[in-house]
């Protein structure tokens, strides 16, 4: 394809993209402003790592294809595979989805562990060079084409530049400096706050591996909690900005009493805490519509949270980062002509499903968002009815989980078999 691809940001999206590009470019250089330890530790550039992270079934499968051996390595280091239908208590609008064995396999692992395993795997690839402690300051271009990046006052030439700088999202600023208008942006304010704490996990303390409780207007308190890295529970409570989960020990546990189900509150009032609660204010969900940009320089792409960052309560971020890397491989199969346009127009379709799923619920809370589109209002109402059916009907529950795991598109919930079961339950 060319001699060098440069990736700004060496986190999950950057690493997965590097792995793909290593098959096409002589040299792939990953630049990150943080030091990048191989161990599973928290670092400044990824503040979300102290909060619960799960990998959806689609993400799990896709990363394994991109980075063979990822699953075994992760499990070997303490991650837990989980049957999303049987091992996780899932409350939707106060209703507990009926559990049943399935092959919807997700992975429960701390965010630092996931990144650490990916980093070790990528480090084995000889033509990927990682330069930690190196912040990208801007881009360079000539005649409508990117020619590289600026770092510490120097220039590093590249045929392709990937913005994988995450939520801090430097790409639009860099493009503006080169005279390109900002791409249109869709934004929905979820208005939620996460507070998380870790506890010791002992054998037999629960008959589940995770609890997910969605927030909704009648009870805007939720959670995402899971068995984590061997002997831990990582418990994230979710609240709204006007009623955030407290960061004081003891009060944090009391807050969990507001959850729809009693299980998590019961668990954490008995378990031994291992850390202090930490808080994270989730900003808006932002989708950068590069596919609609009037002009873009050839040789620029964006991946992971810098392209789209979701309300994390739906656990979609890493899966979309993996799907973007897989899509990039398909785009490269057809050469590098118009690579930027082809990449972004394909990504728009990939992001659509996840975006509709997460923002349909969030728009119910966002007073500043545009009026909710009819399709999205209907989806919310239908899902509410479907959730009721899923408390007793495992076929309906399974159909819902396939969509939530991004294995099927929302219209699949309208298949006659599912529709009939949902209407019958009502
Ligand atoms: C609270 C929270 C919970 C989440 N839970 C889930 C979950 O359960 N499941 C899920 O799939 N996803 C979840 N996500 C999303 C997930 O964390 C991200 O999708 C994932 O980390 C991939 O992000 P990324 O690689 O695009 O960016 P990040 O992980 O944010 O990394 C960006 C990288 O860019 C580097 N960087 C920034 N600026 C520069 C620069 N100028 N030069 C060089 N390097 C730079 C940073 O140091 C960092 O390494 C959650 C997010 C949040 C906020």
Residues 258-310 pLDDT 10s: 999 999 999 999 999 999 999 999 999 999 999 999 999 999 999 999 999 99
Query: What is the model's pLDDT at position 136?
Result: 97
pLDDT at 370 over 80: no
Instruction: Express each pLDDT in 233-250 by its tens digit.
Output: 999 999 999 999 999 999
Residue having the nearest C-alpha atom to atom 29 of ligand 1 = 11
Radius of gyration of the chain (CA): 21
Helices (H), 275-334: 317-333
- 317 phi and psi, to 5 degrees? -55, -55
Q: Cα dist. 10→16, 157, 219, 303 in Å?
A: 9, 18, 38, 11
Query: Is 45 near ligand 1, meaning CB less than 6 Å away?
Result: yes
Domain around 171: 2-53+112-186+286-351
Query: Is 150 near ligand 1, meaning CB less than 6 Å away?
Result: no
For residue 327, the tally of other CB atoms under 10 A from its CB is: 18
Average of per-residue pLDDT across 34-52: 94
Atom of ligand 1 nearest to the CA of 44: 47
Give the pLDDT band of residue 362 (cuts 50, 70, 90).
confident
Query: What is the model's pLDDT at position 381?
Result: 86
Query: Is 54 near ligand 1, meaning CB less than 6 Å away?
Result: yes
Atom of ligand 1 nearest to the CA of 59: 11
Query: What is the model's pLDDT at position 364?
Result: 80
Residues 277 and 298 in one domain: no
Domain presence at residue 211: yes
Average of per-residue pLDDT across 79-91: 95
Torsion angle, CA of 376/377/381/386, rounded to 10 degrees?
Answer: 0
Query: What is the model's pLDDT at position 170?
Result: 86
Residue 263 maps to which CATH number? Answer: 3.30.70.2450
For residue 73, the tally of other CB atoms under 10 A from its CB is: 17
CA-to-CA distance for 362 and 138, rounded, in angstroms? Answer: 33
Give the pLDDT band of residue 426 (cuts 50, 70, 90).
low
Query: What is the model's pLDDT at position 199?
Result: 98
CA angle 351, 240, 254 (to 5 degrees): 125
* Residue 66 near residue 21 (C-beta atoms within 8 A): no
pLDDT at 359 over 70: yes
Query: Is 317 near ligand 1, meaning CB less than 6 Å away?
Result: yes
Query: What is the model's pLDDT at position 357?
Result: 83
Q: Which of 317, 320, 321, 358 to mutate to test the pocket of ligand 1 (most atoms within 8 A of CB)?
A: 317
* Residue 339 near residue 298 (C-beta atoms within 8 A): yes
Query: Is 53 near ligand 1, meaning CB less than 6 Å away?
Result: yes
What is the layout of strands, in order, in the sheet containing 160-163?
128-131, 25-31, 2-8, 160-163, 300-302
pLDDT at 366 over 80: no
pLDDT at 110 over 90: yes
Domain presence at residue 41: yes
Residues 27 and 161 in one domain: yes
Give the residues across from 308 on adjacent strands: 287
> Could you tell me the distance, in angstroms and rounded to a whole number, from the CA of residue 257 to the centre of ligand 1?
30
Question: What proportion of the chain, given as a percentage, has pLDDT over 90?
Answer: 84
Give the residues across from 54 on adjacent strands: 108
Residues 30 and 152 in one domain: yes
Query: What is the model's pLDDT at position 169?
Result: 85
Residues 164 and 202 in one domain: no
Domain presence at residue 316: yes
Average of per-residue pLDDT across 164-169: 92
Give the pLDDT band of residue 410 (cuts 50, 70, 90).
confident
Nearest to 366 by CA among 210, 186, 199: 186
pLDDT at 1 over 60: no
Residues 237 and 173 in one domain: no
> Could you tell me the distance, in angstroms and rounded to a whole number, from the CA of residue 100 to the centre of ligand 1?
32
- DSSP labels for 105-171? EEEE--HHHHHHHHHHHHHTSTTEEEETT--EEEEEEETTEEEEEEETTEEEE-SEEEE--GGG--H
Query: What is the model's pLDDT at position 211?
Result: 97
Residue having the nearest C-alpha atom to atom 28 of ligand 1 = 166
Query: Is 13 near ligand 1, meaning CB less than 6 Å away?
Result: yes
CA-to-CA distance for 311 and 216, rounded, in angstroms? Answer: 14
Residues 241 and 291 in one domain: no
Domain presence at residue 40: yes
Question: What proportion of the chain, given as a percentage, has pLDDT over 70?
Answer: 98
* Residue 74 near residue 107 (C-beta atoms within 8 A): yes
Domain presence at residue 70: no
Residues 224 and 328 in one domain: no
pLDDT at 369 over 70: no
Residues 123 and 242 in one domain: no
Q: Which of 45, 139, 319 to mutate to test the pocket of ligand 1 (most atoms within 8 A of CB)?
A: 45
Q: In the listed set 351, 371, 400, which residue is the last one of a domain according to the structure? A: 351
Please report which helix (H) or strand (E) contains residue 55, including its range: strand 54-55
> Could you tell me the distance, in angstroms and rounded to a whole number, from the CA of residue 321 to the centre of ligand 1?
10
Residue having the nearest C-alpha atom to atom 30 of ligand 1 = 166
Domain presence at residue 344: yes
Domain count, the chain: 3
% helix / strand / coil in the chain, to the nearest 5? 40, 25, 35
Domain presence at residue 389: yes
Residues 212 and 324 in one domain: no
DSSP letter (8 states) at residue 178: T
Residues 164 and 231 in one domain: no
> Could you tell me the distance, in angstroms and rounded to a whole number, from the CA of residue 150 to the centre of ligand 1?
22
Give the pLDDT band of residue 229 (cuts 50, 70, 90).
confident
Query: What is the model's pLDDT at position 365?
Result: 80
Average of per-residue pLDDT across 193-203: 96
Nearest to 297 by CA among 166, 115, 175: 175
């Amino acid at each position: 394809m060319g001699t060098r691809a440069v990736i700004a940001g060496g986190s999950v999206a950057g690493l997965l993209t590097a792995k793909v590009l290593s098959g096409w470019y002589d040299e792939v250089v990953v630049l990150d402003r943080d030091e990048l330890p191989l161990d599973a530790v928290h670092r400044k550039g990824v503040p979300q790592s102290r909060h619960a992270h799960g990998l959806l079934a689609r993400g799990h499968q896709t990363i394994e294809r991109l980075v063979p051996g990822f699953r075994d390595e992760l499990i070997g280091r303490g991650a837990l595979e989980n049957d999303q239908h049987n091992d996780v208590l899932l409350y939707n609008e106060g209703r507990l989805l009926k559990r049943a064995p399935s092959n919807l396999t997700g992975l429960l692992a701390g965010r630092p562990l996931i990144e650490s395993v990916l980093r070790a795997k990528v480090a084995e690839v000889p033509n990927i060079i990682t330069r930690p402690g190196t912040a990208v300051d801007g881009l360079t271009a000539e005649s409508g084409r990117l020619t590289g990046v600026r770092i510490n006052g120097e220039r590093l030439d590249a045929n392709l530049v990937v913005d994988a700088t995450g939520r801090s999202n430097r790409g639009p600023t860099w493009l503006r400096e080169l005279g390109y208008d900002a791409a249109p942006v869709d934004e929905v304010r979820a208005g939620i706050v996460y507070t998380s704490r870790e506890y010791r996990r002992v054998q037999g303390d629960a008959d589940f591996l995770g609890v997910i409780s969605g927030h909704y207007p009648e009870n805007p308190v939720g959670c995402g909690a899971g068995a984590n890295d061997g002997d831990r529970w990582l418990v994230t409570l979710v609240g709204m900005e006007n009623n955030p989960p407290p960061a004081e020990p003891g009060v944090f546990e009391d807050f969990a009493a507001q959850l729809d189900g009693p299980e998590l509150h019961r668990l954490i009032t008995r378990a031994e805490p291992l850390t202090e609660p930490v808080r994270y204010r989730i900003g808006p969900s932002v989708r950068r519509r590069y596919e609609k940009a009037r002009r873009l320089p050839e040789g620029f792409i964006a991946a992971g949270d810098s392209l789209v960052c979701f309300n994390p309560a739906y656990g979609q971020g890493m899966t979309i980062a993996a799907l973007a890397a897989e899509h990039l491989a398909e785009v490269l199969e057809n050469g590098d002509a118009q690579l930027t346009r082809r990449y972004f127009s394909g990504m728009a379709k990939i992001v659509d499903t996840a975006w509709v799923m997460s923002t349909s619920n969030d728009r119910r809370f966002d007073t500043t968002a545009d009026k909710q589109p009819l399709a999205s209002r209907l989806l919310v109402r239908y899902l509410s009815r479907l959730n009721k059916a899923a408390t007793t009907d495992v076929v309906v529950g399974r159909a819902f989980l396939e969509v939530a795991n991004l294995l099927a598109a929302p219209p699949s919930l309208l298949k006659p078999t599912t529709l009939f079961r949902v209407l019958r339950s009502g």
